[in-house]
Amino acid sequence: MNETQIVRTALERLRHHADIKATWKPGIPKLDGELFIMLANRRVRFYAEVKNELRQYHLPELTALAKKYQPLMVIAENIFPTLKKILRERNINYLDTAGNIYIRTKQDHIFIDGNKAATGKKPVTNRAFTKTGLKTVFYLLFRPETLNMPYRHLAYATDVALGNIKNVMEGLNQAGFILQIDENTSILKNKKALFDRWLTGYREILKPTLMIDRYRFWNPDNLKNWQRLKFEQGENSWGGEPAAEHLTNYLVPQHLTVYTTRKSPLVTNWKLIPDEEGDVLIYTKFWRDAVQDTKQFAPTLLVYADLLLTDDPRCLETAKKIYEKYLQHEFE
Q: Is the peptide bond before 29 cis (omega within 30 degrees of 0)?
A: no
pLDDT above 90 coverage of the chain, percent: 62
Confidence of residue 311 (pLDDT cuts 50, 70, 90): confident
Please say whether the beta carbons of 49 and 68 come within 8 A: no
Radius of gyration over every alpha carbon of the chain, rounded to an integer in angstroms: 22
Crossing angle of helices 162-174 and 131-142, in 10° steps, is 80
315 and 260 inside one domain: yes
Number of domains in the chain: 3
pLDDT tens track for 244-302: 999 999 999 999 999 999 999 999 999 999 999 999 999 999 988 665 555 789 999 99
178 and 222 inside one domain: no
Please say whether the beta carbons of 206 and 139 come within 8 A: no
Indicate which CATH number applies to the domain containing 158: 1.10.10
Reply yes or no on whether the pLDDT at 122 is more than 50.
no
218 and 326 inside one domain: yes
Q: In the prediction, which pLDDT does 200 show?
A: 85
Confidence of residue 125 (pLDDT cuts 50, 70, 90): low
327 and 219 inside one domain: yes
Exposure on the CB side of residue 325, measured as CA atoms within 13 A = 12
Please say whether the beta carbons of 276 and 213 come within 8 A: no
Residue 38: other Cβ atoms inside 10 A: 13
pLDDT tens track for 51-97: 988 887 888 889 889 999 999 999 999 898 989 999 999 999 999 99
241 and 314 inside one domain: yes
Confidence of residue 29 (pLDDT cuts 50, 70, 90): confident
Average pLDDT in the 92-107 region? Answer: 94
Decide if 201 is inside a domain.
no
| Residue (of 95, 90, 109, 119) closest to 33 by Cα position | 95
Confidence of residue 138 (pLDDT cuts 50, 70, 90): very high
74 and 149 inside one domain: no
Q: In the prediction, which pLDDT does 124 show?
A: 52
320 and 252 inside one domain: yes
Reply yes or no on whether the pLDDT at 190 is more than 60.
yes
Poorest-pLDDT segment among 105-114, 129-138, 227-236: 227-236
Decide if 279 is inside a domain.
yes
What is the dihedral sign for C-alpha 21, 23, 29, 32? Answer: positive
Domain extent at residue 97: 3-112
Domain boundary among 81, 112, 143: 112
Q: In the prediction, which pLDDT does 293 show?
A: 56
Indicate which CATH number applies to the domain containing 35: 3.40.1350
49 and 8 inside one domain: yes
Domain boundary among 78, 112, 146: 112
**What is the SS3 assignment for 33?**
strand
Please say whether the beta carbons of 316 and 257 come within 8 A: no
Domain boundary among 57, 84, 112: 112
Reply yes or no on whether the pLDDT at 130 is more than 50.
yes
Confidence of residue 119 (pLDDT cuts 50, 70, 90): low
Decide if 153 is inside a domain.
yes
45 and 17 inside one domain: yes
Decide if 196 is inside a domain.
no
